[in-house]
């Protein structure tokens, strides 16, 4: 499948001094031929922060695309550094589709990309249609910013918007150990209606010999469960010891 070129709206990113591109949906994808904000298109917003754990984000994105779910993607500046360090992949606004394809090792589905510095982007408003938001992985700084309504970038603003609109918001912290302030921010997120889902894999699906990919898929599957998105990323508990590995 060949993606159509991004549509240049000529808007200048005030933080980066360059034009931003509101995103077109790739032609022939699950969401049809319209772009971000098209009538009938209601995406999950996925925010990727600078916390270590970009494989979790990749697995969640693949799961959403496999389920035919439209996605609006926001990648923070810090996340670009982490992605480069963990995968060797650069993520650039002007080449987001090529870079996303390389990162996921597959052609993405129905996806729209919004630069993190674009505070006038669709997801910055509660009137923009969305199913909710998945923040994976979620750095402690992002958790704090979302909890107190800092809105320092589009990722934090979009999460705050989805909380105020009473949509599902799933936050996936990975850092450990945690301090008292970290815990207080996570409690504030729960009180605001978010699901806090630490990146803590279970071993009952694949056993003690589970591969790193299986453990990543377990966490990604739990994120998709919290979002109500069907998947087959892990074997579910059947009520019998060892049955999942049989």
Please give the structure tokens belonging to residue 70: 């439209």
pLDDT digits (tens, 9 = 90+) for 190-232: 999 999 999 999 998 899 999 999 999 999 999 999 999 999 9
End-to-end CA distance of the chain: 37
Distance in angstroms (rounded) separating the CA atoms of residues 135 and 1: 28
What confidence tier does 14 reach under pLDDT thresholds 50, 70, 90? very low
Rounded CA separation 111/116 (Å): 15
Per-residue pLDDT, 245: 67
Q: What is the 3-state secondary structure (H, E, C) of 67-104?
A: CCCCEEEEECHHHHHHHHHHHCCCCCHHHHHHHHHHHH
Span 113-148, pLDDT tens digits: 999 999 999 999 999 999 999 999 999 999 999 999
Q: Is the dihedral of CA 104, 39, 124, 185 positive or negative?
A: negative
Cα 63-69-75 angle, rounded to 5 deg: 70
- Angle, helices 54-66/96-104, rounded to nearest 10 degrees: 100
| pLDDT tens digits, one per residue of 46-97 | 999 999 999 999 999 999 999 999 999 999 999 999 999 999 999 999 999 9
Domains of the chain: 7-245 (3.40.50.1950)
How does DSSP classify residue 17? Answer: S
């Amino acid at each position: 499948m060949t993606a159509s070129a991004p549509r240049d709206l000529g808007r200048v990113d005030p933080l980066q001094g360059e034009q931003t591109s509101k995103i077109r949906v790739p032609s022939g994808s699950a969401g049809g031929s319209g772009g971000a904000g098209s009538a009938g298109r209601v995406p999950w917003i996925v925010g990727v922060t600078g916390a270590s754990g970009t494989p979790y984000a990749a697995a969640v994105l693949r799961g959403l695309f496999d389920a035919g779910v439209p996605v609006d993607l926001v990648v923070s500046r810090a996340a670009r550094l982490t992605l480069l360090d963990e995968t060797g992949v650069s993520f650039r606004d002007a080449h987001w589709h090529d870079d996303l394809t390389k990162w996921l090792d597959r052609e993405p589905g129905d996806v729209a990309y919004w630069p993190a510095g674009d505070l006038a982007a669709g997801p910055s408003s509660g009137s923009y249609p969305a199913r909710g938001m998945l923040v994976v992985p979620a750095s402690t700084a992002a958790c704090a910013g979302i909890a107190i309504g800092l809105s320092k970038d589009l990722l934090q603003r979009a999460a705050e918007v989805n909380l105020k609109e009473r949509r599902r918001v799933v936050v996936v912290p990975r850092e450990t150990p945690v301090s008292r302030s970290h815990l207080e921010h996570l409690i504030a997120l729960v009180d605001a209606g978010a699901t806090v889902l630490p990146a803590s894999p279970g071993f009952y699906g694949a056993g003690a010999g589970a591969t790193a990919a299986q453990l990543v898929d377990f966490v990604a599957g739990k994120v998709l469960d919290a979002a109500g998105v069907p998947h087959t990323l892990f074997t579910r508990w059947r009520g019998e010891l060892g049955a999942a590995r049989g």
